[in-house]
Structure 1
């Protein structure tokens, strides 16, 4: 009897665990190596659009995530003073793209993905290095603290600073600074009710969204030199930049403690890789195509990568052919949106806001067109779930 394929996944984040679950479902022996001492991510939420939820349907997880997540309701885009530039229509989006947009804590998604795997499949505190990508005649080799592992397939989901990417494509320049930094908080804000929104100011944005467990997910971004830090603490920095913006932003800032605020500079891969594989090693997620978060597609595309990679596990050239053009186009669109929402020129901002308001008045369908070809993507495999996607099935 032929032995089953052996796969090593480097990185226990969302993309790596989705790939591991999808490969495991196909009968692959999977080992996940995560260098951190735990799989639990530092507090932040993730927005999953219909394309990623359909990908999760392939591993039988889509409905579970829809039930655990907050379905994104009506909201829209605002100015710092609170004027609505556009209003979103959740039902229109669900009808157009065949399902909802949902929001949940990353830790919840990590837990659900991990539960799809055998208990001994994941090793934490296990840094891993690709020492030989292998080829058609020999396996790939990965060095770990416990010795070397051979694999028929290595999935490199080791993030934006991917060591595997440098091994596979040493001449590639790697990620570049996107020009702005981000802050994120996930906290309870008792007694505050609000509609989901993103607000755009000169060179700054703020977003506030409710989670299903009653907490609030808020994020901010601002144009600033790379490597910066607040002279005191990052909560104080947010107060300086956003403290006079519209409700509920002051209430969120009042409820946050300095230790609740995460700050990270944003980087992206500006020059596309020549391929997403070499030998028996495949890159996915930020390791392959890190992009600014302005379309909310970084994690979504990693999930898509994982499902498509499992489908093409025996033909990595087909994986590259399926994923590189799509993710390159989405990454470029995310960069363009970043230039738009981080605009600092006041004359340009006035024109931008007027165009957005006009598109919104013309109807949500016009405004939703920017996600055509993204949110309506469907995986190559049949789903294992019932796909509760209708707007009238919101919890």
Structure 2
């Protein structure tokens, strides 16, 4: 089968690699002349690690990343808001914090050896004939025809409406700024830690292991804020922000940034609430954030995309029906997983990112106490690990 994959992010590269290793002729089309990762760090859950194992890359990632055994969250009054331990799901279980550039390089380095043809500087703007897709870029070039087009160009997808004209992808009102730092004393090892002030301020530190240049003991620090305020934040006085905003909330996190003079090294992140209905149109299919992007609150975006990719390749290998039917069957299977996280994201995000006193009050009165009850705590751990799914995982991605 000839497959065209649009997008050189985590989902696109994983899909290209999974399909190529099953014998398909894969062309990966990337908009940038030099593909590059966006963002700082991410947390790979047992589901994402299972998908990477299916791709033969999990050991490389584990060696480069940092073991994360729990999620801790406190408010500025010292009250514990979140306390989830991977061991409550399965003995010895853990996540892996990883620098996005390291994950990107690991996937990217595997493409050509697997037989994937990588075409850069090809910003795809139009799909011709969805039954036998031909992909047209902004320079007038045509790629294809393909037997399948996988659209994995992220939550801000330029092609989503071509596949599903009624799709919606509004920007979440809250985003974040991210940076990497060195945790010299390993003070932040072992856990994703967060601090909240009501629901209007959230900051966190995630250990990510090795940096892209070989740096050790790296962590990613994020500061959540309204999207409308990001530009003003990054144009403001860095030291005033560090000393007067971050340090009073979390002195240890502020200490990570001592010696910095400005916002250099920070990246901005915005998120979209993606709703498309069916993900496919004939032989064109959306994958990853292009199909089901959510708030980052549950930290599942890259993990869901990795599972999408591996399960799509497996479905196409097993399902002998026409491509369009096999793709729809794959989507039905995946929605039993992704749909839960889209719903949970909508429900939980206001508890941690919202103006006013109502949502943090609801969190403090109901969510935090109930999350410690045995049954609900187990549900929280399932959400954290990415393993909450209606039905069983296929063998290819079973954690």
* Structure 2 CA distance for partners of 1:293 and 1:347, relative to 1, 3 Å: closer
Q: TM-score, normalised by structure 1?
A: 0.84
SS at match of 1:229: helix
Q: Are positions 1:254 and 2:258 aligned together?
A: yes
When structure 1 is superposed on structure 2, of 319-328 and 181-190 the one drifting more is 319-328
Aligned counterpart in structure 1 of residue 46 of structure 2, from 28, 31, 50: 50
CA distance, structure 2, for counterparts of residue 93 and residue 222 of structure 1: 32
The alpha-carbon deviation at position 318 of structure 1 amounts to 1.0
SS at match of 1:258: coil
CA distance, structure 2, for counterparts of residue 222 and residue 49 of structure 1: 25
| Number of the residue aligned with 1:322 | 333
Aligned residue pair count:
372
SS at match of 1:218: strand
Aligned counterpart in structure 2 of residue 208 of structure 1, from 197, 202, 205: 205
CA distance, structure 2, for counterparts of residue 47 and residue 290 of structure 1: 16
When structure 1 is superposed on structure 2, of 181-190 and 15-24 the one drifting more is 181-190
When structure 1 is superposed on structure 2, of 48-57 and 260-269 the one drifting more is 260-269
5 Å matches for 1:350-389? Answer: 350=361, 352-353=363-364, 355=366, 358-359=369-370, 362=373, 366-372=376-382, 374-375=386-387, 379-382=393-396
| Number of the residue aligned with 1:171 | 166
Q: Are positions 1:117 and 2:117 aligned together?
A: no
Aligned counterpart in structure 1 of residue 75 of structure 2, from 75, 79, 89: 79
SS at match of 1:244: helix
| Number of the residue aligned with 2:213 | none
5 Å matches for 1:131-210? Answer: 131-135=127-131, 139-144=132-137, 145=139, 147-150=141-144, 151-172=146-167, 174-191=168-185, 193-194=187-188, 196=191, 197-202=193-198, 203-210=200-207
When structure 1 is superposed on structure 2, of 198-207 and 232-241 the one drifting more is 232-241
The alpha-carbon deviation at position 56 of structure 1 amounts to 1.8
Q: Are positions 1:295 and 2:298 aligned together?
A: yes
| Number of the residue aligned with 2:223 | 220
When structure 1 is superposed on structure 2, of 247-256 and 158-167 the one drifting more is 247-256
The alpha-carbon deviation at position 236 of structure 1 amounts to 5.3
CA distance, structure 1, for counterparts of residue 25 and residue 122 of structure 2: 18
* Structure 2 CA distance for partners of 1:348 and 1:12, relative to 1, 3 Å: closer
* Structure 2 CA distance for partners of 1:85 and 1:332, relative to 1, 3 Å: closer
Q: Are positions 1:307 and 2:306 aligned together?
A: no
* Structure 2 CA distance for partners of 1:243 and 1:142, relative to 1, 3 Å: same
Which deviations, in whole Å up to 9, do the C-alpha atoms of 1:158-203 show, x marking residues without a partner?
112212211122233x211322121111122434623631112121
Question: Mind listing any 5+ residue stretches in structure 2 that lack a counterpart?
Answer: 210-215, 317-322
Contact 2:181 2:257 in 1 (8 A): no
| Number of the residue aligned with 1:331 | 342
When structure 1 is superposed on structure 2, of 241-250 and 221-230 the one drifting more is 221-230
* Structure 2 CA distance for partners of 1:317 and 1:42, relative to 1, 3 Å: closer
| Number of the residue aligned with 2:212 | none
The alpha-carbon deviation at position 354 of structure 1 amounts to 5.1
Contact 1:307 1:379 in 2 (8 A): no
* Structure 2 CA distance for partners of 1:28 and 1:161, relative to 1, 3 Å: same
Which deviations, in whole Å up to 9, do the C-alpha atoms of 1:134-179 show, x marking residues without a partner?
32xxx2101244731211111100112212211122233x211322
The alpha-carbon deviation at position 356 of structure 1 amounts to 5.3
The alpha-carbon deviation at position 55 of structure 1 amounts to 1.7
Question: Mind listing any 5+ residue stretches in structure 1 that lack a counterpart?
Answer: 390-395
SS at match of 1:78: strand
The alpha-carbon deviation at position 83 of structure 1 amounts to 4.4
* Structure 2 CA distance for partners of 1:236 and 1:152, relative to 1, 3 Å: farther
The alpha-carbon deviation at position 298 of structure 1 amounts to 1.0
Which deviations, in whole Å up to 9, do the C-alpha atoms of 1:304-331 show, x marking residues without a partner?
1111221233311112212235323311
CA distance, structure 2, for counterparts of residue 26 and residue 291 of structure 1: 30
| Number of the residue aligned with 1:392 | none
* Structure 2 CA distance for partners of 1:91 and 1:163, relative to 1, 3 Å: same
| Number of the residue aligned with 1:29 | 25
The alpha-carbon deviation at position 99 of structure 1 amounts to 3.7
Q: TM-score, normalised by structure 2?
A: 0.83
CA distance, structure 1, for counterparts of residue 100 and residue 237 of structure 2: 22
CA distance, structure 2, for counterparts of residue 134 and residue 356 of structure 1: 45
Which deviations, in whole Å up to 9, do the C-alpha atoms of 1:26-82 show, x marking residues without a partner?
101111111112223145111111111112222222233223221103451111254
SS at match of 2:307: helix
Contact 1:188 1:214 in 2 (8 A): yes
